Amino acid sequence: MKITTGRYAIILGIQTLLLLADWSINIFALLARQSNALMLIFFIIQDACLILSLSILLLTFFSTYVFQTGLVYLLYERFRTTLIICMLYFILTTVLHIWSLITRWNSSLYNWSTGFFILFTIQRLIATIYYYCYKRASLRISDPRFYEDIDLDTDKQNIQQME
């Protein structure tokens, strides 16, 4: 199945909207700490966006000719860092959400412990790396060479030349 320009533009638009939603929630969730219910809703939306983002990225991988010919290891080699960062960011974000809500619901004062502050800082740092890697991967997977029927003997060379 060859990906068309129109179809890919729609997929890229959805991926960008999901990244913007995640970025916005990272910024504005701190402002919503007055309401536990609103924080919970923001956190659920953010986690859902992260799951959808990773799912859409994987679906674009699955639609490539390289994947369909069984050369999954070539895609894995190419996008390993992005996949690891996506999973790490999701885990850090989920742990931060759980810790934040438990702390908020167990006390009327919302004090940041040292551990929470460190986790928050690491999560925000990884978020920046995640945005860069995810956007880069979503743009790089649009390379037409991933969707063309190319000589299997030169697949690895062609994919390495895309760097």
Q: Is residue 163 assigned to a domain?
A: no
Handedness of CA 27, 39, 30, 35 (dihedral sign): positive
Whether 162 is covered by a domain: the verdict is no
Is residue 32 a contact partner of residue 39, using CB atoms and an 8 Å limit? Answer: yes
Domain that holds residue 66: 5-148
Structural domain count, the chain? 1
Q: Which of these, 8, 4, 2, 9, lies nearest to 147 by C-alpha position?
A: 2
User: What does the pLDDT read at residue 141?
Assistant: 85
- Contacts from 98-104 at CB under 8 Å and sequence distance 24+? 100/39, 100/43, 101/36, 101/39, 101/40, 101/43, 104/33, 104/36, 104/39
Is residue 17 domain-resident? Answer: yes
Say if 67 falls within a structural domain.
yes
Q: Is the pLDDT confidence value at 156 over 70?
A: no
pLDDT score of 59 more than 70: yes
Average pLDDT over residues 49-74: 88
H or E segment and range at residue 140 = helix 114-140
Is 76 part of a structural domain of the chain? Answer: yes
Query: Rounded CA gap, 54 and 84, in Å?
Result: 11
Q: Is residue 161 part of a domain?
A: no
Residue 97 domain-assigned (yes or no): yes
**Rounded to an integer, what distance in angstroms lies between the CA atom of residue 11 and that of residue 107?**
43
pLDDT category of residue 154 using cuts at 50, 70 and 90: low
The answer as to whether 16 is a domain residue is yes
Q: Kindly report the pTM of this predicted structure.
A: 0.82
pLDDT per residue as tens digits for the range 82-136: 999 999 999 999 999 999 888 888 776 667 889 999 999 999 999 999 999 999 9
115-124 confidence digits (pLDDT tens):
999 999 999 9
